[in-house]
Structure 1
Amino acid sequence: MRRLYRKKALSLVKELDAFPKVPESYVETTATGGTVSLIAFTAMALLAFFEFFVYRDTWMKYEYEVDKDFSSKLRINIDITVAMKCQHVGADILDLAETMITSNGIQYEPVIFELTPQQKLWHRTLLLIQNRLREEHSLQEVLYKSVLKGAPTALPPRPIHHPRGHAHIAAFVSHDTYNFSHRIDHLSFGEEIPGIINPLDGTEKITSNHNEMFQYFITVVPTKLHTSKVSADTHQFSVTERERVINHAAGSHGVSGIFMKYDTSSLMVTVSEQHMPLWQFLVRLCGIIGGIFSTTGMIHGFVGFCFDIVCCRFKLGPYKPREVNPHVNNCAAPLLTDNHVQE
């Protein structure tokens, strides 16, 4: 009984077979079918190869939400070179009420404003990257994933409590000796992350006028960065630049110097690195193989069908009628006459 039950179950399973096998004696291979098969297998291999690189690649996902953190301190990282002597320059940070927040702890290092050939090469490279960033925003994703060494900061980072204010660099000497030509080697907010190039990095302003005001209006956006190499809380920012000559006689009033006015945004951006899951890669791979196999089979069948119709219509190929050779003797049996029948 058990054997009989097993045979019935096995026969039932065989009836459910959706992939019945055809005996090899019933299968006919053709040159066109082999050519289409080679093309299909080549396309499958190429697309599967490229799909593997897509699977290994990552992309950045941006999410926006309201910033609910009101107690953290804003950290400023700045490295700026001014074409004046250190003892003639002073820097401070003020809030909106023009109250000085801090001016202690800022280090002044005497350097040469002119760059060496190697520094000029690095500066040109940095400006080229900045131009690419302005033209194509997606390049920022590459910078998020890369690991580059940042320049050392001459002015150390200072944490401050106020979310808004401005940094001011002024001179302590006569107006005739002012020279606020400057180069911003690095300016960032929050935790420093190697590989991130900020909008003002590499900015250079050269002026021949003694009384000139340079203003940078900055909007700081809190950013959480999560990648395979780094996870940090930092800040992005956008900037608007303005510069004008101070001439009280012409009605252009103000104070000569370098001003950086910043304000924090109420939105927070979360940047996370995304990767294609393995199951999605396998599904896409099966879709590529099955799609190419089915498509090439349908195309091959349709082309063969059209070819048969054309050949049948114009009597070509296998449908061409055979010609009868008149020189060939037809062998026919002789007819019997009545005499032969009577005999």
Structure 2
Amino acid sequence: MGVKQILRAMDAFPRAEEHLLQKTKSGAFVSIVGLVIMSTLFLHELSYYLNTITVHQMAVDLRRGETLPIHINMTFPSLPCDVLSVDAIDMSGKHEVDLDTNIWKLRLNSDGHITGTEYLSDLVEKEHKHETNDHLLQSSVRTCSTLNRSVYLFFVALHGLQTGLSGSVTVPGNKFKACNDHKDHHDDSDNKTHMQGFDQDAENLIKKVKQALAHGEGCRVYGVLDVQRVAGNFHMSVHGLNIFVAQKIFGGTTHVNVSHIIHDLSFGPKYPGGHNPLDGTERILRGASGTFKYYIKV
């Protein structure tokens, strides 16, 4: 018994014998139309099943006391980690300066490679000493001091040194090791900074940042920032430096290079297929300074 006969045997509906059938053109037309309709419906349902439909809905969020996680991964190729800081302001009146939670900074050399794995912290000193530290210090160009600090980061909106750079020049929790090389030169520099009224922490910070700038150091900042579910803004600045310290370090506003690359900037839990419009954004300045502002609705 062939396959055709087997399939016919499985048919539960009785069929009339061939000599009792009369084939007509109208019957053939009805059969063809029926097959076309069935094929069309089948293809439509298959397409509906395979395709993804995106539905946009807007509703009022009635939850209170919950935070929104912001995932950040950015590179600043021309600013040392020691001067990067973030301030946050929201409509509820909350104002935080130099945030520090779940965000880390990694020093980069002039080629963009990580030169150390220590976490840097402004508010809480987190010293992580590794066996490779000695090798890194020897291979670098006479790195004279160590600084362990970490900064909370969000948007890049660098304010010029001439606008509102104020506050204490004392950096809490930082301990430096001064170099013994060129002692006479350093003593002379110390005398000059003392004459200008800088305290010891400010003097050490100036030396540290100048050395990092001379070596072409940058900074990679990554982590998660938790914010309230209200409108607000975050801006990156040069560590909220006292204007005199900032002028001593950079020598002018045009020398503050805020070039940056946004590797990841997303809001809320990670969602498959989600598109983050600022991912991959590059803003590179050459021989100039500037301010970059990003406006996002979440």
TM-score (norm 1): 0.39
More helix by share: 1
More strand by share: 1
Q: Whose RCO is larger (CA < 8 A, sep 6+)? A: 2
TM-score (norm 2): 0.44
Q: Which has the larger radius of gyration?
A: 1
